[in-house]
Amino acid sequence: MLAGVVDSQQPMSLNQALASRQASSSVTRSTERVDPQRVFQQGESALQAGDLSRAESAFRQVLAIDPRAGGAYANLGVIAMRRKEWDHAISLLHKAEKLEPKMAGIRLNIGLVEYRRANYSEAIAPLESVMREQPNSTQARYLLGLCYTFVQRYADGARTLDTLWAQMSDQFVYLYVLGNAAHFSGDEALDRKAMARLVEIGSDTPEFHLMMGKALLNRDDDQKALDELQKAAEGNPNLPFLHFHMGLVYRRLGQKELAEKEFLKDIESEPDVGYNYEQLGKLYLHLGRETEAKQAFQEALKQEPRLPASLVELAKMHLRSGDLGLAIKEADAAVGLSPDSQGVRLVRGQVLQRMGRTKEAKAEFESARKLMAAGVEKDRSLLNVEPVPDPDIARQP
């Protein structure tokens, strides 16, 4: 028998039994003396003070006493959010929501976490529920407007964001997203209003020129966009995501070497941004450097797993090479992230057809046809122009 390990086959002595009973009684009395409300308040105080370790310890102590304490799960979710542990946070918040379904703050945090996970479609329902109960919540309304816009529900995005004009019309990002939503939904008056206000408050700052360059990229005015981005670089070459957007405009203008240089420069300062690798992958594909493109798309997904464009490009590559198992896995994931994309549906249909799953393939092709007919992506698909990614905005709220 190993030293220090009690043999379970040996009878317990009287002294051992008494000692065990006394220890059990002591634990019970100790637990009874703990006031979970007091411990919860201690956790909240620690959380407000930024002492995440002490706060976490307190809330876990509360759960040890009362496993149905939804508020403790909610605050543990907030701690995970502070640590940017988004997957852990969403798990804790869903537990809190089940125990406290009427707490709008929990659903607001769920929406925020899904937003930060780039899971915009999943963020919409909890944010809409918060808006129904708390229509004056600026944060919920702003996040909801951003999510609508990022899933290309542009009319909903424009309508939702426009109601925040009084509170937010002095903020660059708000005006930029509002203008994009209005532009793509065909609301020319609101688009002009947002862009005029952006010019009005922008002055000659590098931040203004960056936002204006991005806005012009979305309007496919690439040369003017480059002019604005170059002005931003003259004022502050270290602006976050400036070189990412310069890479985009150089790629559109056919200046491939400059585009590669800009993406690599942005990677130096922000190596964890998947969008840079994704754009490099697209660039390498155009240059016929497929091995490097594949590596770039794989790195993009390593940094940010929810990038449907990278998944689709990898699915196409694996379809061409005959690796249908990987191709369908990537196509399935892309559809889950972007179910209303005609291009995504089309690629999944092609993979299914190659696999001999003709009935499913036919359904995907029909979905793609309906999306194109409905105009969800019609204009941009015909022009072969992609929406401009906004990794900087995705990290802000």
Q: What is the DSSP string of 25-86?
A: HHHHHHHHH--HHHHHHHHHHHHHTT-HHHHHHHHHHHHHH-TT-HHHHHHHHHHHHHTT-H
Residue with tokens 């959010």: 81
Pairs from 199-206 (Cβ < 8 Å, separation ≥ 24): 201/170, 201/172, 201/175, 202/172, 204/235, 205/235, 206/231, 206/232, 206/233, 206/234, 206/235, 206/236, 206/239
Q: How does pLDDT run along the chain (397 residues), one tens digit per residue? A: 233 333 333 333 334 333 443 444 444 444 456 788 999 999 999 999 999 999 999 999 999 999 999 999 999 999 999 999 999 999 999 999 999 999 999 999 999 999 988 888 899 999 999 999 999 999 999 999 999 998 888 999 999 999 999 999 999 899 999 999 999 899 999 999 999 999 998 888 999 999 999 999 988 899 999 999 999 999 999 998 999 999 999 999 999 999 999 999 999 988 988 999 999 999 999 999 999 999 999 999 999 888 889 999 999 999 999 999 999 999 999 998 888 788 999 999 999 999 999 999 999 999 988 888 876 444 443 334 466 777 777 766 6
Phi and psi at 255, nearest 5°, equal -95, 75
Closest to 41 (Cα-Cα) out of 70, 82, 71: 71
Half-sphere exposure of 189 (CA within 13 A, CB side): 2
pLDDT (0 to 100) of residue 63 = 95
Residue with tokens 């995970």: 80
* The residue count for the chain: 397
Closest to 309 (Cα-Cα) out of 271, 288, 283: 283
pLDDT (0 to 100) of residue 283 = 95
Closest to 350 (Cα-Cα) out of 331, 325, 333, 372: 331
pLDDT (0 to 100) of residue 4 = 34
Half-sphere exposure of 280 (CA within 13 A, CB side): 27
DSSP state of 339: T
pLDDT (0 to 100) of residue 121 = 87
Give the tokens for residue 223: 């040369």
Q: Which helix (H) or strand (E) holds 380?
A: helix 378-383
**CATH numbers and ranges of domains, the chain:** 318-397 (1.25.40)
pLDDT (0 to 100) of residue 395 = 66
Residue type, 368: A
C-beta of residue 80 within 8 angstroms of C-beta of residue 92: yes
Q: Which class for 30: exposed (0-12), middle (13-18), buried (19 or more C-beta within 10 A)?
A: exposed
Closest to 229 (Cα-Cα) out of 259, 254, 200: 259
CA distance 208 to 202: 5
C-beta of residue 309 within 8 angstroms of C-beta of residue 340: no
C-beta of residue 77 within 8 angstroms of C-beta of residue 109: yes
Q: What is the DSSP string of 198-216?
A: HHHHHTT-HHHHHHHHHHH
C-beta of residue 333 within 8 angstroms of C-beta of residue 304: no
